[in-house]
Structure 1
Amino acid sequence: MAYAIMRAKKLANMGSVAASMQHCYRERETHNADQERTPDNQHLGAKSTDEAMGKLRALLPEKRRKDAVLVVEYVMTASPEWFDKATPEQEKAFFQRSLQWLADKYGVDRIVTASIHRDEATPHLSAFVVPLTQDKRLSAKEFIGSRDKMRADQTSYAGCVADLGLERGIEGSKATHQTIQQHYAAVQLGVTPKATLSPKSLEPRVLEKAGFMAKTVLGRGDLVESPEMVAERLTKAVNDGFAGTIAMASTALQERRRAKELQDTANDLRKRLESIQEPFKGLTKAQVAEVLRVAMTFQVENKKAKKQSKVIRREQGRNVPDRGNSR
């Protein structure tokens, strides 16, 4: 199964907005991007961070709370295996539908800029949207302010791309709570742990060699890792090494939950069908057809009777004298 995935992040100051935009426009070093494929990226609405920030400033209201969310950054993508099989037309439709979903939710003029990235592990859309209400207030709360709203958005978004062969992820799954790029990059690593710890890796590493003056005049030796720094480095190595295993397990769990949901639905439908079929057991097709015809006739007559009863009650109400004026 392939899933439609959407993540929203609130940005409450200009610095964080600019930093995220610089990442999208590749104006700062992006380690997980393939520079040879960067020219395949597309930028819509603005061609640079400076241009996008100018559009943002023009859109923001002059009076706003200091802690107001300025921008909601969206990342919209799908399972890597879907992109592997998707035609160019399907991929184009996916990104068009994603942008249209944002336009329908916020208004097309609230989308400051959007970028389609094809130089990372999984193609995805990054969009920056101003949560501006119709009365010109910044209110991320009105758009994504609760878990129920976010769940409804996930369902709505998945619905708009469902005909492309994508489904909504399992509600409550934590598989995409890390960044989407990290999750699918981990899946692609496979399930073989890559972490190897040797006795030497437990030793503090030299961070900076002491120069001649530092040794002879100041009596200072090399700058080495503290025990806390060693622990942090080893923890990161272990986590990175098992990331592929964890991601694969998470994806497998989603598949099992989805299979159980489908099985439960099928069982429920079968029971309902059996309850409907029970009264007709032993009847011929002609007899069943006659029973259904009579039932439909009763239904039509019942509707007519109810309608006539309403008319009679309405007429009776008009003919009742006004007791307050009759003396």
Structure 2
Amino acid sequence: MGYAVLHLEKTSGTDSAMSAHIERTIAPKNADPERTYLNRELIKFPEGVSNRTQAIQHRLENAGLQRKISKNQIRAIRILLTGSNEDMKRIEADGKLDEWCNDNLRWLGETYGKENIVSAVLHLDESTPHIHATLVPIVTTERRKKKSEEQVKKQYCKKNPNAPRLSADDVMTRSKLKKYQDTYALTMSKFGLQRGIDGSEARHISTSQYYRELFAKNENLKENIDNLLEKQKNTEKELSKVKSEVSKEKFKNAKAEMGANLMDGVNSLFGGSKVKQQQAEIEELQSENNSLKEENRSLKTELQTAQKEHEKITDKLRAELKKIYSLFPKLRELLSIERMCRLVGFSEDLTKRILTGNKVGFKGSLYSAEYKRKFSTEHSSAQIEPEPGKPNKLRLAIDGVDIIEWFRMKYREFQRSIGIDWAERNVGRGRKM
């Protein structure tokens, strides 16, 4: 049984950096750009509001606050809601992700006030499905007085103790944070998620630190490929550097030779210690040039060795890939079908099951790039099967038909549902649909 994950973090200023991450105005390195279209905002913004930053400001302006908001006051709290990686993928594969999202929204509204949750974005383009919710901490309880204020006996005009206030501290007291974890885990228990150990040494890390660690793990997986590419890049750099140094060396040698000839002429005419000193300096420079030539020859040898090693590794990889394709002739098509599964929105678990060749039942929504929309199904099956008339070719079939034709059928159903008769649209076009 996995764990429910709930993390609260105070923001600073307008929190524009996190808004850019949540709304994907800046693409993070740990996100798959081919799945970003699956992300969605779960809360409808008020009229005239189009993003998270505006939603925060709209709530502050319409909350009926009586006190002026100070420059350093916390205006919003970030809330991350998710679960253990394997359990979240299981929830997605079982078609329960929408139910999980709805239960999260209900818990947020009951816990903090529905009007205070101004944004909740579901991210499906990272390794674990999760929700970024934004809470504007408006409270109506009486403000806790400081000890210094309790000692002051001056009489002031009494204010309404239940008037709305902006207070992140009231929302994030130690006792309330513990209560949030308890009630959230209770809500998530139906999905097989449990609360972390109460009082354990585990501590929250910031969202930025979470992504840094996640990115570091991802980088380790790519290390071998990156090392090879870096080696190739360095080899090309060294080659360019050597060519440049060889050109400079030729110029220096010509310059030194001209200087030596000139000094010989001057020395023969005038003689003198100064001319001899300059001649000695020229000879020293020539010696340095000879050393540099030798160094260049050594560098060229190293470069040639590195190039040969790179070519050897590249040839080996190509040969291995060719051998794999030869032993498994349908691998190219399976890789193509795997990419198609990800593009239409199948989870990683469902994709693996489909690639085994078995018929896999599913429900949910699939995305069509042709029609730029999602099509829902309550019960369908996906299977890889030979293409009719081409037994050596494979295709992805949904409910027994090619997935492209399945999308067309779904699009026609959609048109009929809004009053467009497909048969009427094609009258006089000289073809049957």
With normalisation by structure 1, the TM-score equals 0.52
Q: Partner residue of 2:130?
A: 124
One-letter amino acid matched to 1:164:
F
Q: C-alpha distance in 1, partners of 2:217/2:178?
A: 24
Matched residue SS, 2:4:
strand
1:9 counterpart residue number: 9
CA distance, structure 2, for counterparts of residue 155 and residue 23 of structure 1: 29
Question: For 1:173-195, what per-residue CA distance to the aligned partner results, in whole angstroms no more than 9, with x for missing partners?
Answer: 427535455666777899x9x79
Q: Is the 8 A contact 2:49 2:55 kept in 1?
A: no
Deviates more, 1:36-45 or 1:164-173: 164-173
Say what the alpha-carbon RMSD is for the aligned residues. 3.7
CA contact (8 A) 1:122 1:184 kept: no
For the Cα contact (< 8 Å) 2:38–2:125, is it kept in 1? Answer: yes
Shift in CA distance, 184/158, structure 1 to aligned 2, threshold 3 Å: farther
CA distance in 1, matches of 2:211, 2:110: 26
Q: CA deviation at 1:11?
A: 1.0
Mark the runs of 5 or more structure 1 residues left unpaired by the alignment.
Answer: 196-208, 213-327
One-letter code aligned to 1:92: D
Deviation at 1:53, TM superposition (A): 2.2
Deviations 1:17-73 (A, max 9, x none): 222111111001311100000000011334999533222222214712333210011
1:156 is aligned with what amino acid? T
Amino acid at match of 1:137: R
Number of equivalences: 199
CA distance in 2, matches of 1:77, 1:182: 18
Counterpart in the other structure of 2:169: 141
Q: For structure 2, which runs of at least 5 residues remain unmatched after alignment?
A: 141-162, 225-240, 245-433
In 2, are the aligned partners of 1:111 and 1:130 still within 8 Å (CA)?
A: yes
Aligned partners of 2:3, 2:184: CA distance in 1, in Å? 11
Residue by residue over 1:213-270, the C-alpha shift from the partner in whole angstroms, topping out at 9 and shown as x without a partner, is: xxxxxxxxxxxxxxxxxxxxxxxxxxxxxxxxxxxxxxxxxxxxxxxxxxxxxxxxxx
Change (3 A) 1:46 1:38: farther
| 1:18 counterpart residue number | 16
Q: What SS does structure 1 have at the residue aligned with 2:183?
A: helix
Identity, % of aligned positions: 28
Q: Deviations over 1:159-207 (max 9, x none)?
A: 11111111011233427535455666777899x9x79xxxxxxxxxxxx
Which of structures 1 and 2 has the bigger CA Rg?
Answer: 2
Task: Report if the CA contact (8 A) 1:12-1:70 is conserved.
Answer: yes
Q: Which moved more, 1:44-53 or 1:69-78?
A: 44-53
Give the residue type in structure 1 aligned to 2:8: A
Cα deviation digits, residues 88-122 of structure 1 (max 9, x gap): 54222222111111111111111111100000011
Q: Tell me, what secondary structure is at the counterpart of 1:102?
A: helix
Distance 1:182 1:98, change over 3 A: farther
State whether residues 30 and 214 of structure 2, in contact with CA within 8 Å, keep that contact through their aligned partners in structure 1.
Answer: no
CA distance in 1, matches of 2:37, 2:68: 39
Q: Structure 1 residues 45 and 18, CA, compared in 2 at 3 Å: closer, same or farther?
A: farther
Secondary structure of 1:65's partner? coil
CA–CA distance in 2 between the matches of 1:45 and 1:67? Answer: 29
CA positional deviation for 1:77: 0.3
Show the 5 A alignment for 1:265-280. Answer: none
Structure 1 or 2: more strand by fraction: 2
**Distance between the aligned counterparts of 1:131 and 1:32, measured in 2?**
30
**Structure 1 residue 82 and structure 2 residue 81: aligned?**
no
Q: 1:116 to 1:173 in 2, by over 3 A?
A: farther
Secondary structure class of the residue paired with 1:161? helix
Identify if the C-alpha distance between structure 1 residues 182 and 79 changes in structure 2 by more than 3 Å, giving closer, same or farther: farther
Q: Map 1:38-187 onto structure 2 (within 5 A).
A: 38-43=36-41, 44-46=43-45, 51-60=51-60, 61=65, 63-86=68-91, 87-134=93-140, 135-146=163-174, 148-171=175-198, 172-174=200-202, 177=205, 179=207, 180-181=210-211
Please report the TM-score for the alignment, with normalisation by the length of structure 2.
0.40
Q: Give secondary structure in 2 for the equivalent of 1:36.
A: helix
Q: Deviations over 1:105-140 (max 9, x none)?
A: 111111111100000011100011100013221111
